[in-house]
Amino acid sequence: MLALCGCRSNREPSLKQLTLAVNSGVEGDALKQAALDYERQTGVHINIAEFPYANLFEKELIDVNAKTGAYDLIMLDDPWFPRFATKQFLTDLGPLMQKRGQAGPDPDFIPTSIALCRYPYQTGALYALPYVGNSQLFFYRKDLFEKHKLNEPLKWDDVLAAAKTIQENEHEGGKTYGYVMRAAQGNAAVADFMPIFWAFGGEMFDGSGMPTVNSPQGIAALKFMIELGKYSPPGYPSFNADEVGAHLLQGTAAMSINWPAWISSFSDATKSKVIGKMAFTTLPAAVKDGQAEIGNWLIAIPKDSRNAEAAIDFLLWTTSSEQMKLSAQRGNPPTRRSVFRDAELVAKFPSYPAQLKSLETSRPRPRTPQWNEIENVFGIFLSKANSGELTAEDAMNQANAEIEKIVQRAQ
């Protein structure tokens, strides 16, 4: 495969054509729409290669590894970015932007989002621009909180107390669980655990890059998660986003950590039994302030793209504030402050102020090229602890040992 592809690199670049690899889903749909508009305005023909989330990563990584230059722009979920950037698979956007009179990315972009696009994180060169500004939010039933005179969920202890009260008192028309979390191994368990872990003062790695998940803070955080799990519907150690969404929409659970993409479904009468009853806020605190996990979609130009100049023009256009507003209207949270504060959009999406605050204070998953593997292992042990197979201590000790193996193998 390598041999077949290497020989095409000196072909004349065509300026009138671009190929985009996009995620099939709301994020990719908005970009597809934008591509059609761009084609109409500029005459640049844009081919769309659309893949489901699970395949997108393999397709893109295989492409950049084989240096085919098949894609001129690729959508990346932000945890994938280090994997691409460490291997020099992406085009440094700095020189291309300078050519167009831009010293750096527009300061209107939210700093936590731009930091994801740099390698090394926050300080290095710019290899992508942020397109979709997701970060976790805390979802809760404000009607039940008012009914039982509960404190707003500012701290994790408030959350636990509220979960207990709600579960003990809400039986009308079936049981309402106090909380719902997802602890299926892999991404799900880790995403739901990280905000608790960080708030309890846990850190995944020390300064030298060695794992420290079994610190006293880490173990305390996992114990808390298991405690909270007692108020989550049975079977939650196998839950993914769908089950959590179903419980919230059916009104059978009162709180959860979730992603902004779910917000619109709560006001959809065909799906939701809780219209007007949900509130969205930033994540609760413990010994530290609450921090959400950031989950942005980035757009980058592979190094072997033969149309980098045309690609950067499209990239700058599609991440401009006007275009991002259109993308926001199509359902994607923006990555620019000005768009988050746009009066028209705030009227349409009342959770925008909370989303902006969550995003500005969010934290990324550790920026390591081995993240997929580490997340998998960490998720397995979190899931095992939640299903009662292991104690919190054993789970964290074993997770630490396995993560250490991965780190050492990569050195």
Interface residue list for another protein (CB under 8 A): 57-58, 61, 83, 183-186, 233-239, 243, 246-247, 252, 370, 372-373, 376, 380-381, 383-384, 386-389, 402, 410-411
The CB-of-79 to another protein minimum distance in angstroms stands at 12
Q: Which is nearer to another protein, 2 or 103 (CB)?
A: 2
- From the CB of 409, what's the least distance to another protein, in Å? 8
- At closest approach, how far in Å is the CB of 390 from another protein? 8
Give the contacts of 398 (CB within 8 A, at least 6 positions apart).
381, 390
Are the CB atoms for 15 and 46 separated by under 8 Å? no
Task: For another protein, give the closer residue by CB, 5 or 61.
Answer: 61
Q: What angle do CA 298, 312, 57 make, to 5 degrees?
A: 35
Do residues 182 and 243 make contact, with C-beta atoms less than 8 angstroms apart? yes
Could you tell me the smallest distance in angstroms from the CB atom of residue 237 to another protein?
4
Single-letter amino acid code for the residue at 345? L
Q: What HEC string does 179-221 produce?
A: CCCCCCCCHHHHHHHHHHHHHCCCCCECCCCCECCCCHHHHHH
d(CA 112, CA 202): 20
Q: Which is nearer to another protein, 3 or 103 (CB)?
A: 3
* Minimum distance, C-beta of residue 380 to another protein, in the bound complex (Å): 5
The answer to whether the beta carbons of residues 173 and 164 sit under 8 Å apart is no
Other CB atoms within 10 A of residue 316 CB: 18
Nearer to another protein, 46 or 249 (CB): 249
Phi, psi of 287 (to 5 degrees): -75, -20
- At closest approach, how far in Å is the CB of 82 from another protein? 13
Whether a cis peptide bond, with omega within 30° of 0, leads into 364 is no
Starting at the edge strand found earlier in the chain, the sheet holding 137-141 runs 255-258, 137-141, 278-281
Q: Which is nearer to another protein, 222 or 316 (CB)?
A: 222
* Cβ proximity to another protein, 157 vs 394, nearer residue: 394
Residue 247 in contact with residue 180, Cβ under 8 Å? yes
Rounded-to-integer distance, Cα 333 and Cα 308, Å = 26
Q: How far is the CB of 83 from another protein (least distance, A)?
A: 8
Rounded least distance, CB 247 to another protein, Å: 7
* Residue type (1 letter), 331: G
Residue 198 backbone class (left: φ over 0; alpha: ψ -120 to 50; beta: rest): alpha
268 versus 389: smaller Cβ distance to another protein: 389
The residue (of 135 and 386) whose beta carbon lies closer to another protein is 386
**Smaller CB separation from another protein, 36 or 410:** 410
Q: How far is the CB of 402 from another protein (least distance, A)?
A: 8
Q: State in angstroms the smallest separation of the CB of 224 from another protein.
A: 19
Residues 6+ apart with CB under 8 A from 256: 138, 139, 179, 180, 181, 244, 247, 248
CB closer to another protein out of 342 and 402: 402
Nearer to another protein, 120 or 388 (CB): 388
Q: What are the two backbone dihedrals, phi and then psi, of residue 390, each rounded to the nearest 5 degrees?
A: -135, 155
Q: Are the beta carbons of 1 and 66 closer than 8 angstroms?
A: yes
Distance in Å, CB of 343 to another protein, minimum:
40
| Contact residues for 9 (Cβ-Cβ < 8 A; gap 6+) | 67, 69, 304, 306
